[in-house]
Structure 1
Amino acid sequence: MTSTKSPDDVATATTIDPDVVAERLEQLVGQVVTDAGAALSVPLALLGDRLGLFTALAERGPATSADLADRTGLVERYVREWLLAMATAGYVTVDTGADPDGTADRVRYRLEPEQVEAFTNPDSPGYVAGALQNITAMTRALDRITEAFRTGEGMGWHEHHEDLFLGTERFFRPGYLAHLTSSWIPALTGIEDRLRAGGRVADVGCGLGASTVIMAEAYPASTFVGVDYHDTSITLARRRAEEAGVSDRATFRTAGAGELDGTYDLITFFDCLHDMPDPLGALRAARASLTEGGSVMLVEPMSWDTLAEAINPLGRLLAGASLLVCLPSGLSTEPAYGLGNQAGPTRTRELAREAGFAEARIAASTEMNLVYELRG
């Protein structure tokens, strides 16, 4: 049927008030300016981490740029600009008792207790230095990911800058320290009793071994093996175990997720299954390697089943990380599942059942993670 509306009618119906457009544009530009400033704050804060600037402020108290340069052996002019950038970001605080209206080279800066925790305490659940290192490393892959949009090819985990491996350990370790042995393992069916008595655990995709070492420290009667295909990470994991004094019961080997050796009471995947090109194969191998009554503990980044649920600040961060790291890793080799870190609880449980598990439940959660128990 032919429309009875004239072109003028259609134009009038779809025209947006220019004042509304201008207001929305101004808001959007303001958001981009805010986001761009935040984006610059991340690598600049990483500079402070690398150069010991946060630590020097935390340990020796308020300082001018000259004081801080003297403490760290750095050039004052660069330190002065860094302090200004960090003050505008809210990462350091202007010492209000020391001429805050003075010139930049005379102002003193300090760290509030929460800033000390966030930037200098690696055991704190609020420690963010790993995130700074992680995110800066991710953006180094931008040229590769640009080309991947055209070719559909992936980018393996091992192909990233080494800061990604180190930053990932620093980012996830505080959360594991806070929750792994205090709430996650106790939430599994009968597993903590087995580990206290002396069980066998495989930590698949162990990376630098933070999760493996934490478990080995908590359950000295059990034995642990960390498995990862990335040989450089395995070398560092062995060093971490030796430094922690648990190398007698925590060993590591370079192997794929489907290459488990023997049977285990507990098999863990910490923030890694979604990165694997063959997550189904990895879960099938885990199920075949479980002892009777054993469990798989699958720790995954927080995700949601619907777009509406995912549109939040954490979802924004995780979706960006997924695009730069997780999805390309999952597409790097066949069968190239390409799950990404936002597969969602429903898809994750479906994958577990497809792998042969009779039970796939969310056993625990935090703001950052969902912890699944897979059994049967």
Structure 2
Amino acid sequence: MTTTNPASGTAGTAQAPAVDPERLEQLLHHVVADVGAAMTVPLALLGDRLGLFDALARGGPMTARQLAEDTGLVERYVREWLLAMATTDYVTYDGSADGRTDNAHARYRMTPEQAEAFTNPDSPAYLAGAFQNLTAATRILDRLTEAFRTGEGVGWHEHHDDLFLGTERFFRPSYLANITSTWLPALPGMVDRLTAGARVADVGCGLGASTIIMADAYPNSTFVGIDYHAPSIVLAQHRAAEAGVADRITFRTAGAADLDGDYDLITFFDCLHDMPDPVGALRAARSALAEGGSVMLVEPMSWDSVEEALNPLGRLLAGASMFVCLPSGLSAEPAYGMGNQAGPSRTCELGREAGFTVAREAVATDFNRVYELKG
């Protein structure tokens, strides 16, 4: 490659920057760790599907043979899976039953913390849904490759079924921990309205976890859950019946722009950033609000600057945005392409663009920002 010296106008040869061996080695170690972590996620999903985590938490310490007998699986596969999980600290190596140190005779167990994270679906620390959700998301890699060339999106409904199921499993523990204890109380006067009896619309309700949690907590209120994905609505109806709250929830297949009625509270749980027309969705919500009502917008943690986002959670969320949120936001007109990293300033600005006079961050938790829109 040749360049021109700006002072003399003469051409010269540009020298590539020298490679720093130490920094290169650090990068290689980083990549090895990342690739190992990436391989762990689908293997952990395998353990979740096959009941391996549950059986080990219930019966450990166990050898691979004992775990295989307990679960009805093939010992040789179970043995390799246990080693893979132990290398990433998802299960714990517990020595050997007879002094031999090879993997065939090794015993494994789960600590209380590992069991809590991988086997207790009601725990705020439950993470098994992430294995299902993120593994499903990567199935669109071929389409995403082409989307970089065409600019086309991939609709939420076009993903593998595991994405819908895994998303509910991933978000439900946080909703259980925060909706009634932290998020709704951050909206002044809202808990009193819900307790007395309010009308609530839950937009983008998916399989209904958020709607069901609210309906269970506020039996005097009535709820409408809407989502454009019809199979999710069918599952939501079944789950509401199982939870004993179907008498006060109506689920229907509809898009955010179809929202109508007169509601004291309209909620968007982790969905606005996926919508191709988030401003249109918020305008529809504003039109459907009762006097003095509020929109509660729950969004993934995001930041206003790149520097703030350079952290482990930022890495996870930006990756999820690439596979799910951004393609969904580009899948139909007007193809806003918000992504999950819009940041609080831009998110509040969207509320004002939609006509709300109040757009504020009401509260934040480790993984979410919660906004209130009024007026």
Q: Where does 1:91-130 land on structure 2 (aligned, <5 Å)?
A: 91-96=90-95, 98=97, 102-130=101-129
Deviation of 1:259 after TM superposition, in Å, equals: 1.1
Contact 1:64 1:108 in 2 (8 A): yes
Match of 1:262 in 2: 261
Deviation of 1:2 after TM superposition, in Å, equals: 4.9
Contact 1:294 1:375 in 2 (8 A): yes
Deviation of 1:16 after TM superposition, in Å, equals: 4.5
Match of 2:211 in 1: 212
Alignment TM-score, normalising by the size of structure 1 = 0.96
Q: Where does 1:91-240 land on structure 2 (aligned, <5 Å)?
A: 91-96=90-95, 98=97, 102-240=101-239
Q: Secondary structure at the match of 2:257?
A: coil
User: Is there any run of 5+ residues in structure 1 with no aligned partner, and where?
Assistant: none
User: Is there any run of 5+ residues in structure 2 with no aligned partner, and where?
Assistant: none
Deviation of 1:28 after TM superposition, in Å, equals: 1.0
Q: Secondary structure at the match of 1:170?
A: helix
CA distance in 1: counterparts of 2:206 and 2:281, whole angstroms: 16
Q: 1:122 to 1:100 in 2, by over 3 A?
A: farther
1:372 aligned partner, one-letter code: Y
Q: Where does 1:233-312 land on structure 2 (aligned, <5 Å)?
A: 233-312=232-311
Match of 1:32 in 2: 31
Deviation of 1:326 after TM superposition, in Å, equals: 0.4
Alignment TM-score, normalising by the size of structure 2 = 0.96
1:258 aligned partner, one-letter code: A
1:285 aligned partner, one-letter code: A
1:124 aligned partner, one-letter code: S
Contact 2:321 2:340 in 1 (8 A): yes
Match of 1:333 in 2: 332
Q: Secondary structure at the match of 1:224?
A: strand
Contact 1:100 1:108 in 2 (8 A): no
Query: Which range moved further: 89-98 or 339-348?
Result: 89-98
CA distance in 2: counterparts of 1:169 and 1:292, whole angstroms: 32
1:277 aligned partner, one-letter code: P
Residue identity (%): 71
Deviation of 1:15 after TM superposition, in Å, equals: 6.3
CA distance in 1: counterparts of 2:200 and 2:75, whole angstroms: 51
CA distance in 1: counterparts of 2:98 and 2:9, whole angstroms: 69
Q: Secondary structure at the match of 1:332?
A: coil
User: 3, 7, 15: which one pairs with 1:3?
Assistant: 7
Match of 2:89 in 1: 90
1:178-209 Cα deviation digits (max 9, x unpaired): 00001100110211100000000000000000
1:306 aligned partner, one-letter code: S
Q: What is the RMSD computed on CA atoms of the aligned residues? A: 1.6
